[in-house]
Amino acid sequence: MSSLDTAIVKRTLKTNPYAHTLATFGVVLALSFFEVEAHSLREPLVDNGVSTEGTFSPVEPVVAIEGEMKKWHKITLTFDGPEVSENDEINPFMHYRLDVQFTHPSTGKTYLVPGYFAADGNAGETSASSGDKWRVHFAPDAIGEWSYEVTFRKGNYAALLKKERPTESALFMDGMTGTFDVSHSDKTGRDLRGKGRLQYIEGRYLRFAETGEYFLKAGPDAPENFLSYADFDGTFHNDGHKDHFVKTWSAHERDWRVGDPVWKNGKGKAMIGAINYLASEGLNAFSFLTMNIIGDDQNVFPFIDYDTYNRYDCSKLDQWEVVFSHAERNGMFLHFKLMENENQGLLDNGGIGMNTQLYYREMIARFGHHMALNWNVGEEIGEWARNHKSLPLKVPQRRAAAEMLRAIDPYDHHIVIHNGEYFDELLGSKSQYSGISLQTHKGDFSEVHEEALHWINASKEAGKQWAVAVDEPGNARHALLPDDENPEHNNARINGLWGAMMTGAWGTEWYFGYEHAHSDLTCEDYRSRDLFWDQCRHLLDFFKSNSIPFWETENRDQLVDDGDYCLAKQNELYVAFLRDGSGSIDLSEAEGSYAMSWYNPRDGGALQQSKTKKLVGGKVHPLADAPDDPKKDWVVLIRKI
């Protein structure tokens, strides 16, 4: 098929291994060829003791293929399937399974991508809860021809089963095959579709597959209830569970731009504006809970209501996708936090069972195509708090969560977990985790450097180098204060921001303490920390603008004075962070001559030439000629001449 943005194609239904089907006057004639015990296509499904009959299939199935037919872009296949609703007696989320295997013949690459029930195919606009549309999103990683083959099964718990025998054909598009062509992406700048998928590559940093660019992230970790938004569909607005926390994000409506997406005649402007603001500040990440039932906020969940855990709100999730797609176009890493402490065991009483597996599948099917994200099993996970509201995940369940995500996700995204309990029993070469989301507990951020460095080294020694991010530096009461309380943010910058990055961590995200305005639950204005976002941008600019190969460096704090930080690539490059503007660096084991420059982490800007003309290997050198404000923090860049 040509690389059209939208196409409607018809494909012949392949022979089903159990039966050929023919729809005539609404009657299904099934001829079983291969198994005496083959399931009848009209054998009832049972859901909570309710028995209903199957449906019939059209003779020639139809698929709509939509999207920009380009490498790394979302290509959507929408099928006409059985007419069902979110509340059908046969649960369309649990008892049907749509999978599409995509194959790139010239390279042999294959991806088995899960699909989902999409109501009328336009639910984000219509609020439909029923329909006959079934959908798969695919983000191809190669140009040229791709082929696809569809599997559509039904049966008890079909969505969670891989083998064919426990299920039967759901007809319609089951067995359909086809092809389409993919060309190069034309996206540039912040749009992540021009960079390719962000991948864990067995090291401390994630890397974009298309450009080979290594990634440093910085952005807000709060509010955790980002998705508790009045413009989304759903029952959470007025279900009696902490409805006062539902946000309008009205402070950011002024940041929406003409041409930006909305839904339902203008809804969503303020949240889209919030994404625009973060991008305009040079930030490249934000986080959000996708399920906080019985948690602090209780308004964020993908389900049709607060008390149902296996049926999904199609229209609300379509609206989430509008936001996530806009964020991707604006260069934002999506930090999916799937659980939190209070509800870590809610879905399956502390296990990774039926409802949790379905939850993972639905999140991956709907959002896993995005270029830059991680699946965070949950924040503050484990057995550590007083009076747990749900049974906490023990070590086997924490391991099983990562294993299940890894098994479902066709794109092999980064998988992390956030500490309640620490991570020692999750280390090792067989772990399916590729990193951690680290929380610290001191208001002055003084734990950040030591803790991040510990887990970087411990994971490496255990046989699998994790990518470590510090996603809640500080403590719960204070953490990152609003600008009007702490405009300079000295501890956050020195101990938290640079303290994390100078260990070899790949990023930081910032929590807003609950004792202050614009907190982790109440914030609706990211400008409350506007001055600190500038300091985050200065850090990112330092590494990018000066072409510093941070992924090739190691932490070498022993080369500088106590309390200062150092990243080094021996005999080539040294980055020293001096917390009070002066110090020394030990180049006694280095060779050659080096040029030295200064960088202002408070105000950013260009490198400033040092008065010291040259440093030579084989000796210890003082670092004492900061351009101005010599008692404040400075960064020294030392490169081999």
> How confident is the model over 139-163, as pLDDT tens digits?
999 999 999 999 999 999 999 999 8
C-alpha 259/C-alpha 266 separation (Å) is 11
Across 332-349, average pLDDT = 97
| Model confidence at 442: pLDDT above 70 | yes
Collapsed DSSP state (helix, strand, coil) of residue 39 = coil
Angle made by CA atoms 9, 14, 18, in degrees to the nearest 5? 145
Output the six-digit token pair for 373. 């994200």
Q: Amino acid identity of 69?
A: M
User: What pLDDT sits at residue 57?
Assistant: 54
Neighbours of 550 (CB within 10 A): 20
- Where do the domains of the chain lie? 6-182, 218-545, 551-640
Please tell me the CATH superfamily of domain 218-545, with its number.
Glycosidases (3.20.20.80)
Q: How many other CB atoms are found less than 10 A from the CB of residue 611?
A: 10
End-to-end Cα, the chain, rounded Å: 54
The answer to whether the 218-545 and 551-640 domains have the same CATH topology is: no
Predicted confidence (pLDDT) at residue 2 exceeds the cutoff of 50: no
The 10s digit of each residue's pLDDT in 570-613 is 999 999 999 999 999 999 999 999 999 999 999 999 999 999 98
| Segment 209-244, tens digit of pLDDT | 999 999 999 999 999 999 999 999 999 999 999 999
What's the rounded Cα separation, in Å, for the pair 384 and 156?
A: 36
- Comparing CA positions, the residue from 573, 607, 608, 575 lying closest to residue 592 is 573
pLDDT at 102 over 90: yes
- Does the domain made of 6-182 have the CATH classification 2.60.40.10? yes
Task: Check pLDDT > 70 for residue 631.
Answer: yes
Q: Region 118-128: what's the mean pLDDT? A: 98
How many CB atoms sit inside 10 A of residue 307's CB? 11
Least Cα distance to 372 among 333, 409, 336 occurs for 333
Amino acid (one-letter) located at 525: D
Q: Kindly report the pTM of this predicted structure.
A: 0.92
Per CATH, the number for 551-640 is: 2.60.40
Q: Which residues of 155-164 are buried (b: 16+ CB within 10 A; e: fewer)?
A: bebbbbeeee
Neighbours of 128 (CB within 10 A): 19
> For 362-383, how does the pLDDT look when each residue is reduced to its tens digit (9 = 90+)?
999 999 999 999 999 999 999 9
